[in-house]
Structure 1
């Protein structure tokens, strides 16, 4: 059954990724058609075509590998009639790009070419894809946070420790001579719901913990709800060494008040805006990864060849995401917990697609936006000087840079594929 569950988890991610790509390309296709651009193809996936059908002027299809997609539009670049006089590999690449671009304009009304559109329409078309991924991410995270709910510690007591053990102790049971825990001595019981501590009403277990940690050696009044009745008790936390995690996730050992309480964990639905907040926080994390990509890729390569454990927050390929999804599906956790992780993974993938496609380099969407903005800048400058409107930017000159970006993307993909196969990030960390 574990193998079947693993396969199901992988398939869920593959289908989810394909849907994300399909919606991304729809984000380009719909405004392109709305603005009259001739769209020859709409393809989801890369590699060999496994299904296609022509409807009107557009061929819709699915390719074998769900790792990309494209919408073919007539005249993505302004045509350049004269052939390049330079020679060499780069000159050949530039000329080939010009010839390929010219082919998309054959038999097409020039007014339906992409490059003929006003700058704002070109930007809308190119941002339509990333925007769809952003919307899908918000939807997925909203389902996770506001629909399914997040596991949180409640004010209901799940367990009360019998004794206080030294921080360095590895014993699983209380030993003779271990003092009773403050919670046990105070008469707190599992199932009690904390109402107030030291005169302060508490709505979360974190608030209760903060009061306890700040009150070592002090007798503080505690009010709990037990079997529908209000019970007043007195709790005196002891001073103990405990590991405390700060907002950045760093764990330090501190001397704090300790009572010996464990909170019940329940799923609690968050406000409707929590999904958008989670999307923003994930985008910030992805931007940080992209900004540090060379360093992170180097670390990944070192870990791959040395066998060291990889950074769980490092970059992943599609293989890595699928593998994690399979491991999640194969765990013995409650089904809702597994679904939550899968939804979170797909939400994070869409955020990554959104951020990555905004990088202002061809062939990414951000590169086409940058060219459109450059055209707008040239036209604005010409109007200020009273000069004639300049010709559209010759983006084919950037083909060598585009090729370099493609090679880098392929290299990054190959490295991450290898790392995710031979030295994967695992849920257990091992």
Structure 2
């Protein structure tokens, strides 16, 4: 049964992956057609075609390898300076440019002269190329909101999990009390396990962050604490101690290894699944986008540890880069967890939302052959033409993105090598969930 559920989890992720890819390419397709660009093909996947059907001037299909997708637009690159396609050069770098330019003019038909991608104004080309990643961003936001507001997320609550018998500085990393340690304010006030703190010093406490902040700024004060116990409310009084506690960042998370002197009550908060309102969801997603950007920037620095995890005896870090195979394994593990089905579904949706957020950020890198590279080329063309107009110089014409194809092949080669490294690590030393 466990093996069956593991396979089911992978299948669910594979379907979600295909939908995400199709959704991305739909953004490119719809805007290209909106601006009158001819699109001969819309394909999900790579390799041999499994199924296809032609509707109008576009062939729609699914290919055997679900690791991406594409639409093919006529005239992605402008012709050379002579206005024609030249024979392939013997220079390998020049040959790359000419191959790319030739591919851009495949299936050119009479009447297509005004329907080619490069003939559209730069702002229209930016929209066409941005539409794909934007669709992934929209899907990520929708999926995150579904989980945050519909299912809820695991977080600390205002319910007491345990009461500390004494005041111990968190920086000391010990659990047992010494005779010299004073009793904790929570213990002295009579707080008990499973008490739910509903108000602190006259202020309602609906979430852990609010309660934690109130405690930290109340050092030395004696405050009333309203708790709910066995269905009834009672008021306790505690003199808040001063202690060394973990430092919090702007998002409410704890900063590892950093401590500050602040108020201390002396209890551990229970965790639970808590639904978020819209404002809390937006704040949470904003923080996650920031984390994702930081992770993308830090990606090159994680390659040595990833190499050691794949080919050496190094551990696979929880925040290690993970590919499609790794994500599929994680969703397979989720399906085998002994948790409610609703939480399994929420975790599935979370993984898919994170995948779409990563697709958005990755594709926005200003490098060919990514969408961001074409956006950067269109913006550069717009800048050149506007500067020429202001200086009353001749129009420099379209920016020839094809000249950057040698760089694009190098970038693509680096991406392929990195993808292979991640794939090996995902197979031999995968990231596992606890």
Q: TM bucket by the smaller chain?
A: 0.7 to 0.9
1:14 — aligned with what? 14
The residue number in structure 2 matching 1:4 is 4
Q: Using the alignment, how far apart are the partners of 2:378 and 2:214 within structure 1?
A: 57
Aligned mates of 2:175, 2:194 — CA distance in 1: 27
2:66 corresponds in structure 1 to: 66
1:24: which partner in 2? Answer: 24
How far apart are residue 111 of structure 1 and its match?
0.8
Matches within 5 A, 1:165-180: none
TM-score, normalised with respect to structure 2: 0.86
**1:94-137 Cα deviation digits (max 9, x unpaired):** 22222222224244521111111111111111111011011001
1:111 paired residue among 111, 114, 119: 114
| Distance apart, 1:49 and its partner CA | 1.3
1:85 positional shift:
8.5
Partner of 2:303: 297
TM-score w.r.t. the length of structure 1 is 0.86
Does the aligned pair in 1 maintain the 2:166–2:187 contact within 8 Å? no
Superimposed CA distance per residue, residues 20-51 of structure 1 (whole angstroms, 9 cap, x where no aligned partner): 11000000000111111111000011122111
Alignment length, in residue pairs?
425
Report which stretch shifted further, 391-400 or 48-57: 391-400
For 1:374, the equivalent position in structure 2 comes to 380
Separation in structure 1 between the aligned mates of residue 207 and residue 64 of structure 2, nearest angstrom = 49
3-state DSSP of counterpart to 2:319: coil
Quick one: distance in 2 between partners of 1:215 and 1:148?
Answer: 34
Aligned mates of 1:195, 1:248 — CA distance in 2: 23
The alpha carbon displacement at 1:216 in A equals 7.5
CA contact (8 A) 1:146 1:274 kept: no
Alignment partners' CA distance in 1, 2:410 and 2:173:
55
Q: 2:36–2:115: 8 Å Cα contact kept in structure 1?
A: yes
Match of 2:327 in 1: 321
Change (3 A) 1:380 1:221: closer
Deviations, residues 127-161 of structure 1 (Å, cap 9, x unaligned): 11011011001101111111212233333435556
Contact 2:216 2:264 in 1 (8 A): yes
Question: CA separation in 2, counterparts of 1:248 and 1:232?
Answer: 29
Between the aligned partners of 2:14 and 2:206, the Cα distance in structure 1 is 41
Deviates more, 1:244-253 or 1:310-319: 244-253
2:145 counterpart residue number: 142
| 360-369 vs 241-250, greater mean Cα deviation | 241-250
- How far did residue 251 of structure 1 move? 3.9
CA apart distance, 1:415: 0.6
Corresponding residue of 1:152: 155
Distance (whole Å) between structure 2 residues aligned to residue 134 and residue 118 of structure 1: 25
Which whole-Å CA distance do the structure 1 matches of 2:209 and 2:385 have between them?
A: 58
Q: Assess, with a 3 A threshold, how the Cα gap between structure 1 residues 33 and 227 changes in structure 2: closer, same or farther.
A: same
Q: Deviations over 1:323-348 (max 9, x none)?
A: 12222222212323322222221111
- For residue 200 of structure 1, report the CA deviation from its aligned partner: 4.9
For the pair 1:349 / 2:374, whether they are aligned, the reply is: no
Q: What's the secondary structure of 1:61's corresponding residue?
A: strand
Structure-2 separation of matches of 1:132 and 1:30: 11
Residues 1:359 and 2:362 aligned together: no
8 Å contact from structure 1 (residues 138, 347) kept in 2: yes
Q: For structure 1, which segment, 92-101 or 22-31, has the greater mean C-alpha deviation from structure 2 after superposition?
A: 92-101
Aligned pairs for 1:243-258 within 5 A: 247=253, 249-252=255-258
* C-alpha distance in structure 2 between counterparts of 1:92 and 1:168, whole Å: 63
Structure 1 range deviating more: 354-363 or 192-201: 192-201
Task: Return the offset for 1:260.
Answer: 5.1
| Residues 251-266 of structure 1: pairs in structure 2 closer than 5 A | 251-252=257-258, 261-266=267-272
Looking at structure 1, the residues matched to 201 and 287 of structure 2 have their Cα atoms a distance apart, in angstroms, of: 35
Report deviation, 1:284.
2.4
SS at 2:65's partner residue? strand
For the residue of structure 2 that corresponds to 1:414, the secondary structure is helix
Counterpart in 1 of 2:423? Answer: 417
Cα separation, 1, equivalents of 2:247 and 2:105 = 64
Give 5+ residue unaligned stretches, structure 1: none
Post-superposition CA distance 1:159-205 (Å, at most 9, x none): 556x559777678xx99999987545533344533244455553434
**Counterpart position of 1:281:** 287
Residue segments in structure 2 that go unaligned for 5+ positions in a row: none
Decide whether the 8 Å contact of 2:48 with 2:63 is kept in 1: yes
Summarize the Cα distance change of 1:227–1:49 in structure 2 as closer, same or farther, 3 Å threshold: same
1:76 corresponds to 2:76:
yes
Deviations 1:342-385 (A, max 9, x none): 22211111111111111112211111112212222232233234
Provide the residue aligned with 2:406 in structure 1.
400
Aligned partners of 1:275, 1:209: CA distance in 2, in Å? 19
- Match 1:330 to one of 331, 336, 353: 336
Q: For residue 232 of structure 1, what is the aligned residue in structure 2?
A: 235
State the shift of 1:14 in Å. Answer: 1.3
Is contact 2:79-2:85 (8 Å) kept?
A: no
